[in-house]
Structure 1
Amino acid sequence: MSKLDLFPFLGSSKTGKLIRAFDWKKTSLGELSQWPACLRAATSLILRSDVPMTIQWGIQGWLLYNDAYCNIAGARHPGLLGQTVHDSWSEIADFRALVVKQVLDGNTVNYRDKHMVLLRNGEFEDIWLDINYSPLVNETGTPVGVLTILNNATERFQAEQRLRFAQEAGRVGTFEWYPDSGRLEGSDQYRRVWGVSADVVLTDTLLISLVHPDDQHALRPQPSGPPNPIAYLEFRRVDPVTGEIRWIARRGEAILLDGGVRRYVGIVMDITDRKKSEQALAQSEARRRQWIEQMDIKQIRHRNVRTLVRGLERDASRGRKRTGGLVMLAEMLGKSAAQVSRFAAEKPSTHIGDRIAREIEQAFGKERGWMDHVQWSAKMDCTESAETLAPA
């Protein structure tokens, strides 16, 4: 015949067995048989939950908890069981005592990502918790204890923190957009990229209003087309106060949820500096091409060969040689100085043809067509020495 269970509310969990065996006479709770109905009901609730939960009873905060809480307690389990606020977690005793007082006054207290430094496994460690404190009331509605629901958010918090640091370092903002409901969420960096402060509610209508009128059509939702992915897009936004134009790059992906609900996730970056650099480079290239178009191939070749002659002369001067640049070039080409002077003098009597141009390129170890390129800016006299022009 099985023994009658006098305290079925404790169930059969590991912590329930510890509570059953604990000497509660040394606490203000008294023996299990003396526990009030509200305490029994609350204890039964937490012991049957797979979420970390505790009860702190009375102003002294006598501690009860369930199996799931053991992971938070670490090596301090089972020593925490039946201890007061000041004895259980002494390193945060003042904080917990204040919370117990507030909740026994009838208040609910909530924390998200509450940072604590706890001695859990023989050494202090940082931990972040999501905590909800609610009053436990007796038959008359008077708060007599504190029901606590906890979540160890350390891994999530640290992962989000690392992601946030990476986003800020890379100036990348992230977003989630639900076009069917209009819900839009963005990171702090996302708001900075768009120039939207933290107190402003993000909406797709607001963001489109900030986009340059000529680019707005590209961002408006399309009624048809493939749902995946959001194509890479570059567009301009206009600061509504200063009128400043900044460039934004966006890339993302569309995800279909249950019931056909669409969810868009992606990133944005401010690419204004890159766009300015590209524009400056394009303008420089346009000026270079314009200058080239104004010159013919004969002028380009003569300008380049004169630059080579000046470089050779500087090289000879450094070596304290009396040989001129024309003579040195003639030696490199295996020609007489008179022959070279015809096309390499300041006022040539003939132009450099394809054959001579190719011979010069071979002598200097350059690729075919090198003499036909604009080697240096039209406004700059070459300062490059013959050491860098001569073949290796």
Structure 2
Amino acid sequence: MAETSIDYAAVYRALPGMVALLTPELVFADVNEAYVHGTGRPREELVGRYLFDVFPDNPNDPDSTGARNLQASLLRVLATGERDTMALQRYGVENPERPGEWEERFWSPVNTPVLGPDGKTELIVHRVEEVTELVRARGHEGGGQGRVLEAELYSRARELQELNNRLRQAHAREREVALALQEAMLPARRQVGHHRAAVRYRPAVGALNVCGDWYDLVDLVGGHRIGVSVGDVVGHGLEAAGVMGQLRSALSAASRVADGPAEALNVVGRYAHVVDGAESATAVTTFIDFDRHTITYSSAGHLPPVLLHRDGRVEFLDRATDPPLDARPDPTPRPQATTSFTPGATLVLYTDGLIERRREDIDTGLLRLAEALRRHRTQDPETLADIVLLELLPPGGATDDTALVVVRL
């Protein structure tokens, strides 16, 4: 079949349903012909204007919540990068030909993000279907009970909306508890000997997205050595936070007595087999020897640490990668590797929330991290950690947790 060039702008204009494109500031970027026809507003009165300046709630109706509900949905899309399908909305619209006169309308909206290459929401596709006539027609099927049935349909929609709000509130409370638990179990930022280290934890946006990312820094026995680790537990909420605490504590203890990082991960891998919820958990640990200027590392299915050399060279520590902690019923010795550094280099460990974006190759995220570290390599660890988060995380927050550790060697 011969390739054809499709004019997607023409397709958009010809869509039979009402579709508007909104910027992240909720300003009309474009509207199709069906949207113009359905709202009764010419295109020049829409494009470039703030959505709720054009379509506010009816000030004469104290029960009108359509604009408020729509705004909440759009903000959820911006925060999560996920599509949001709304319940039936009663949203009055002012008659453009008779200012001050409001017409009761029923709408079924769906809001969908358009993500850019960096994973950020560039536009929101705001599709609305007016169902006023359908609601009333079904009501009229009951004869004189038309208005009663119409009111009942709207009441059911309001009940569904209220139920959704209560579920979100319950999830928000669970999120707060999980965050408090997670923060209590993660070590505070600290000096490691006389070396500077910065730690950061950023929870995922959205009430359901508290995950099990963690980090740890421990002083090791024998010589001038420390252990630095990060890990990631699959799952969300209180369960993931609890599993995270168990695995972090186990690796912290194992690192203090193990001969090397591989042995420490072997011990934690055996422990993970008896911890419910630890399936597919990943971790990477590094043993830093400041006397020998070496880093020995081992990874259980985790992303590679980054060694930023003083001259700007970026080295991904990826020569000792193995499956996740509980991947083998009968654990076998894990690999480990050693690399050298010169004083003043920087070691960076992180979790996937920092670099992974939907529909983007992971190598793109790794390159983005390497470039940010190279550009700002002269900054102290605290400043460098803040800059990396600012440059790599979406403005509204990521949909996965992010843990980050920066150690100046």
**Structure 1 length as normaliser, TM-score?**
0.30
Higher relative contact order, chain-length normalized (CA < 8 Å, sep 6+): 2
Q: Flag the structure with higher helix content.
A: 1
Larger radius of gyration: 1
